[in-house]
Amino acid sequence: MSSPAHPVALNHQFDDLQQQYEAANMGMWAFIAQEIMFFGGLFAGYTVYRYKYLAAFTEGSNHLPIELGALNTAILIGSSFTMAMAVRSAQVGEKGPLLRWILATMALGIAFLGVKSIEYADKYHHNLVPGLSFEGSGQLKIFFSFYFAMTGMHALHMIIGLGIMLWMIPKIRRGTYTREYFSPVENFGLYWHFVDIVWIFLFPLLYLIGRDPWMTIM
């Protein structure tokens, strides 16, 4: 009796595609749990120092352009939608829509980084990047140290996500992802949604809490 055909996408260590899917999904959730702990440490440190130096952190928030922060929030919410549509397209085996939704997600991710680069350039121009030329109190310097650490790590995750999507595009074009094998797209979707959710917390924490909503210090 001949053995059943071995699916091309099935790795040798798994019995079937369902087992492979469950293992990959569990691995991604374990990774996200680790990332939650990493960003949670940054959020906790920021909260402690904000409580300790409230006036300086309030001043720091007023240095941040709320319009650019809101624009980036809208961009990332849009990218979550396009990513969800990409996952759906992969699940039903639609190669063309999957490619288009991934490209749309990449475009929004690049737009986010473009807006963030404008904001970073403004802080550099006004000597608000922690370093020898920093203009401000030591307590304000702590705020901007957290600002660049938290938003910088978030931007790094965005760049990694863009790199992964670039890696996926040739596979999408070859038809690697089908209705039977779509776990890489789905798991990447989880990663992208997590990065978006981190920003949803960063925006109010850095830009909104305790500030005058109509004033930005230049």
Is it the case that residue 2 has pLDDT exceeding 50?
Answer: no
The answer to whether the beta carbons of residues 202 and 79 sit under 8 Å apart is no
Q: Residue 9: its pLDDT value, please?
A: 64
Q: pTM for the full model?
A: 0.88
Instruction: Give the pLDDT confidence of 134-167 residue by residue, as tens digits.
Output: 888 889 999 999 999 999 999 999 999 999 999 9
Phi, psi at residue 131, to the nearest 5°?
A: 165, -170
Tokens describing residue 143? 């705020």
Query: What are the tens digits of pLDDT across the range 55-111?
Result: 999 999 999 999 999 999 999 999 999 999 999 999 999 999 999 999 999 999 999
For residues 152 and 129, what is the distance between their CA atoms, to the nearest angstrom?
A: 12
How confident is the model at residue 5, as a pLDDT? Answer: 53
Long-range contact pairs involving 52-59 (C-beta distance under 8 Å, separation at least 24): 53/139, 53/142, 53/143, 54/210, 55/139, 56/137, 56/139, 56/140, 56/142, 56/143, 57/139, 57/143, 57/210, 58/210, 58/211, 59/140, 59/143, 59/217
User: 1 pLDDT exceeds 50?
Assistant: no
